[in-house]
Amino acid sequence: MIEISKLNKYYKIGNDKMHALKDITLNIQNGEMLAIMGKSGAGKSTLMNMIGLLDKYDSGSLKIDGIEVSMLGDSKLAKLRNEKIGFVMQDFSLLEQKTVLMNVMLPLYFNNKYNFSSMKKIAMEMLRRVGIAEQANKKANQLSGGQKQRVAIARAIVNDPSFILADEPTGALDTKTSAEIMELFKNLNENGKTIIIITHDMGIAQACQRKIEISDGKII
Ligand SMILES: Nc1ncnc2c1ncn2[C@@H]1O[C@H](COP(=O)(O)OP(=O)(O)OP(=O)(O)O)[C@@H](O)[C@H]1O
Ligand SMILES: [Mg+2]
C-alpha cells in the first residue's frame, strides 16, 4: 500500500523555487489500477518520481507498505525500489543494442539471487507472459514500438514487484497497439499487481478502476 500525506515538492530554478507538488494526499491500495491524469506540466511525472523513489520530497509523508521512505538512506532506497517497483516509460528505455532476453534479465543481476541459467529461465517466462517469447534473441532495436513496450513490461515485472509505475506507456503507440498494451496491464492487475498509469488519454484512463487528476501540483 502507498500512503501519501501532505506531500510537497519544490524545484530550484536559479534563485526561484517552483512549487511542483502542493499538499498531495493520496492512498493507493494493493491491487488497484489507478490512472493519473492532468495537463502537461501539472506535476504527474514529479509525483511518479516521488512514488518511484527516484527523487526526494521537501515535506509531508510517503509510506510504502508502512515504511516512511524519507527515513531511508540511498542504498536502502535502491533496494526497496528494485524489490517493490517496476517502471514502464513512454520511450521504453531499453538497451537498444542488447537482446530482448538480456534487457529482461538485467534487473535480476542487481538482486544477486540467481545464477545465469535461472535468470534466463525467469526472463523467458516473463517474455512468454507478455506474448513476445519468439523475439527473445532479437536486438531491442529490431522491434516495433508495441513489441518494445511488451519487453519493457516484462522487464518491469521480472523482480515480481508489488506495483508498476507507467508514465505515458502508450504515448508513443497507435490506438490498436495501445489497447493491446492496456489489456496486458489489466491482465497483470487481475493477477494481483497494483498499477499506476500516467496518461493524457481519456480512453486509457477509462480502462482503469480509478482516475485522479492533477492540476498545477494539486489533486482536483
Ligand atoms: N528537474 C526539474 N527542474 C525544475 N523544474 C522542473 C523539473 N522537473 C519538472 N519541473 C517543473 O515542474 C512542473 C511539473 O513537471 P512534470 O514533469 O511533473 O509535469 P507532467 O505533468 O509530467 O507534464 P507532461 O505531461 O508534459 O509530462 C513543470 O512546471 C516543470 O517545468
Ligand atoms: Mg510527465
Between the CA of 112 and the centroid of ligand 1 the distance, in Å, is: 34
Q: Locate 13 and state its grid cell.
A: 530554478
Arch. (CATH architecture) of 2-219: 3-Layer(aba) Sandwich (3.40)
Give me the pLDDT at residue 29, please.
95
**DSSP one-letter string for 12-47:** EETTEEEEEEEEEEEEE-TT-EEEEE--TTSSHHHH
Between the CA of 199 and the centroid of ligand 2 the distance, in Å, is: 9
Q: Give dist(CA 30, CA 196) in Å, integer.
A: 11
Residue nearest to atom 12 of ligand 1 (CA): 20
**Whether the CB of 42 sits within 6 Å of ligand 1:** yes
Q: Locate 81 and state its grid cell.
A: 525500489
What are the domain boundaries of the chain?
A: 2-219
Of 7, 12, 45, 215, the one to substitute when testing ligand 1's pocket (max ligand atoms within 8 A of C-beta) is 45
**Whether the CB of 169 sits within 6 Å of ligand 1:** no
Return averaged pLDDT per consecutive 10 residues of the chain, 220 residues in all.
96 93 96 95 94 94 94 91 90 93 92 90 92 95 90 91 92 84 90 93 89 95
Give me the pLDDT at residue 91, please.
86
Q: Locate 191 and state its grid cell.
A: 493477477
pTM (predicted TM-score): 0.90
Give me the pLDDT at residue 180, please.
85
